[in-house]
């Protein structure tokens, strides 16, 4: 049985991508930069889906005990999925109504598959969590976390128009393995979203201006479920952030880079049930 692709959001409707299968590519020998392929017709994709199920080595990934997919199986799937697509490197643009995003905030890089293996356990994801990748590019980490199967949902926000379209194509083409979590990819400015379900958040804040970082942090803290954030660069000081540890991660711009993992400290509640103020906090005040 081939599961239907998960919902893909964003400015462009993905109705034409509603049916898709894993696009299989032979193992790459070196760096490939092929052009993005157009989605196949529903009849073609259905036939390919059936073929994929009949050929586990090509289109199917096995789940480990408990319905979770291991790292190696998830990476095999991602390599096949992205093998015939374009990549996120190069120029991109974003236009959100009358708001044009500064291109200096759209520098691109990726966590390597080796880096994902080190990062995943360090984030401390658990059952019921919703994971957010802020600046998700073409969606690799979002789909990886979803396929690992430990979270309730994996979310990606990307403002770049071209990168988001590639992420939509990948998400619609994924044949979800057993136990795959829900996932969603949206084209959206991370600093303008009202977060309601974010539990563990990763933000690629290298080359990101402080205005975007501060607005994003303030919006995240309004979410009661928000408990952990992972970043490349140290975050602006907040009394409600506590550095938990650093972890060495392999990326496309550095063989080894140190990532910061912060726990979110919640304010004590007084007897009247109101939040106690934190001296020096830049947390936005709730309306009384």
Give me the pLDDT at residue 101, please. 53
For residues 17-42, average pLDDT: 39
The C-alpha atoms of residue 265 and residue 273 are separated, in whole angstroms, by: 17
Give me the pLDDT at residue 180, please. 96
**Sorting pLDDT into bands at 50, 70 and 90, what band is 40?**
very low
Give me the pLDDT at residue 248, please. 96
Both structure tokens of 100: 């044009």
For residues 220-247, average pLDDT: 95
Estimate the crossing angle of helix 71-82 against helix 113-122, to 10 degrees. Answer: 140
Handedness of CA 116, 121, 122, 128 (dihedral sign): positive
The C-alpha atoms of residue 222 and residue 284 are separated, in whole angstroms, by: 8
pLDDT in tens, 148-183: 999 999 999 998 888 898 999 999 999 888 999 999
Give me the pLDDT at residue 108, please. 59
Q: Which of 14, 21, 26 is nearest to 49 (CA)?
A: 21
**Residue 78 pLDDT > 70:** yes
Contact 142, 156 (CB under 8 A): yes
DSSP state of 226: -
How are beta strands 130-134 and 182-187 bridged, if at all? unpaired
**Sorting pLDDT into bands at 50, 70 and 90, what band is 206?**
confident
For residues 62-88, average pLDDT: 75
More confident residue, 102 or 142: 142
In Å, the largest CA–CA distance within the chain is 64
pLDDT in tens, 234-287: 998 899 999 999 999 999 878 899 999 999 998 754 444 444 444 344 444 444
For residues 216-243, average pLDDT: 95
């Amino acid at each position: 049985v081939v599961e239907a692709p998960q919902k893909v959001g964003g400015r462009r409707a993905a109705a034409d991508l509603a049916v898709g299968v894993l696009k299989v590519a032979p193992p790459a020998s070196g760096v490939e930069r092929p052009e993005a392929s157009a989605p196949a017709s529903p009849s073609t994709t259905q036939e390919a889906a059936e073929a994929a199920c009949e050929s586990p080595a090509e289109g199917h990934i096995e789940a480990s005990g408990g319905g979770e997919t291991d790292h190696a199986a998830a990476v095999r799937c991602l390599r096949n999925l992205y093998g015939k697509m374009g990549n996120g490197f190069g120029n991109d643009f974003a236009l959100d109504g009358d708001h044009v995003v500064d291109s200096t905030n759209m520098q691109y890089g990726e966590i390597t598959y080796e880096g994902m293996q080190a990062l995943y356990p360090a984030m401390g994801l658990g059952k019921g969590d919703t994971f957010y990748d802020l600046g998700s590019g073409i969606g690799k980490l979002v789909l990886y976390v979803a396929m690992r199967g430990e979270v309730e949902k994996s979310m990606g926000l990307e403002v770049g128009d071209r990168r988001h379209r590639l992420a939509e194509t990948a998400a619609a083409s994924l044949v979800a393995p057993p136990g795959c979590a829900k996932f969603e990819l949206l084209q959206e400015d991370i600093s303008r979203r009202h977060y309601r379900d974010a539990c563990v958040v990763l933000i690629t804040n290298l080359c990101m201006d402080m205005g975007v970082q501060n607005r994003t942090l303030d919006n995240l803290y309004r979410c009661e479920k928000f408990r952990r954030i992972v970043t490349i660069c140290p975050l602006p000081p907040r009394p409600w952030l506590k550095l938990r540890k650093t972890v060495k991660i392999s990326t496309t711009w550095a063989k080894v880079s140190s990532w910061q993992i912060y726990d979110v400290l919640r304010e004590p509640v007084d007897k009247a049930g109101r939040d106690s103020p934190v001296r020096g906090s830049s947390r936005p005040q709730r309306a009384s």
